[in-house]
Amino acid sequence: MNPSGNQLKKTGGSINIVGELAGSLGDLGTLLPFVIGAITFAGFDTTSVLFTFGLMYIFTAWFYQLPVPVQPMKVIGAAMLVQHLNPGEIAAAGLLTGLCLLVIALAGVIDRIARWTPKSVTMGIQSGLGISLALLGIKMVSTDWLLGSLVMVTMLVLLGNRRLPASIVALIGGTTLAYLLHPEIKLPHLIWGINLPHFVWPAGQDFSSGFFQGFLPQLPLTLANSVLVTSLLAGELFPDQSERVTNRNLCLTLGIGNLMAAPLGGIPMCHGSGGLAAHYRFGARTQYATLLIGMILILIAVLLGSSGLQIMQMVPAPVLGGLLFYSGLDLIKPIVSDDRREMFVFAIVLTLSVAINPGIAFLVGVPLMIALRREWIKT
């Protein structure tokens, strides 16, 4: 198979490299906060984290031939920051998650889960994620209303402009403006060299906390958002090109990616509908977008090592907030149905997705719809 040639054929034989570069940066609003937190607060090695993300991005670009995203796993990431899980415990959670996803894919379990999951649940989760991302974006913009307002208005004007992409203008212009408005901010001091990932293997006791605090609460969210909703959205955005973005394949690539990342000192990774919407919203149309961001991350990891953290910290929160806000809006799609049960479940799932998390919404929504269809519960 020749992924590049196949994709060129499907896109009419030309690639808008500026658009792909802009799209490659679209999901930084999700990526950077978790990566910076893992390095700063949880003691992860900068090279290991960036290298594994870059490697997974390149693998995903080759496999899917589309801008399928690579993101930090949100629940495990939150446990890492809030419950202070150490790199060994996070590695254990990543290994357990990767192994489980491989089994689910190879045993065909994910196909059964997909058949049991009604569209009202997947659409409710997708819209709930969109609202959550948009709200988080507003929160990040509010850290500096002047800078944030300028960034948001500029991005609104440039959305859809392939010659002057909103994400590139926001990142470069917003970062430059932040330094002009706040001259007390110091420029990074970069140290160049050759840096390699650090090997990490969890101790026996790490698997207990990794299982209960990381793997177990993360799995429902991964199946719902990283697999079911992502495959649904890929079919909507790329109806003629998404034949490889199946539920089974998403489980397989996540399984392989996490089994690779954990021993190399990376943090657990997932795909995600929010990331796919972000890449697409800001210009990504082919696998070259994710290939580009993968190469950028690997170059920073290998050449800059720990000082690569300073590069990431240069991007101000309002800029990341703008990326999150507009990509979140693209996910909000109300379901249209004459079936009151579908509308009821959609509303419940959306509410739970925003108020708690999409994993809980998934666990509630599927049995609720089954109960309504079998008339165990009447609306």
β pairing state of 71-72 and 269-270: antiparallel
Query: Residue with structure tokens 């198979």?
Result: 1
Contact yes or no for 221/365 (Cβ under 8 A): no
The count of C-alpha atoms lying within 13 angstroms of the C-alpha of 103, restricted to the half-sphere facing its C-beta, is: 7
Contact yes or no for 299/53 (Cβ under 8 A): no
Q: Does residue 264 form part of some domain?
A: yes
Which residue range(s) make up the domain with 311?
3-333
Q: Does residue 239 form part of some domain?
A: yes
Q: Does residue 121 form part of some domain?
A: yes
Q: Does residue 26 form part of some domain?
A: yes
Contact yes or no for 48/42 (Cβ under 8 A): no
Q: Does residue 134 form part of some domain?
A: yes
- How much is the average pLDDT of 319-338? 88
pLDDT tens sequence across 164-219:
899 999 999 999 999 999 888 888 888 999 999 999 999 999 999 999 989 998 99
Q: Does residue 359 form part of some domain?
A: no
pLDDT of the residue at 8: 39
pLDDT surpasses 80 at 269:
yes
Q: 379 or 318: whose pLDDT is higher?
A: 318
What is the domain count for the chain?
1
Least confident span in 75-79, 230-234, 252-256: 75-79
Give the other-Cβ count within 10 Å of 286's Cβ: 25
Q: Does residue 344 form part of some domain?
A: no
Query: Among residues 339, 341, 360, which one has the least CA distance to residue 350?
Result: 360
Q: Does residue 341 form part of some domain?
A: no
pLDDT tens sequence across 117-144:
888 999 999 999 899 999 999 999 999 9
Cα four-point dihedral sign 145, 138, 44, 250: negative
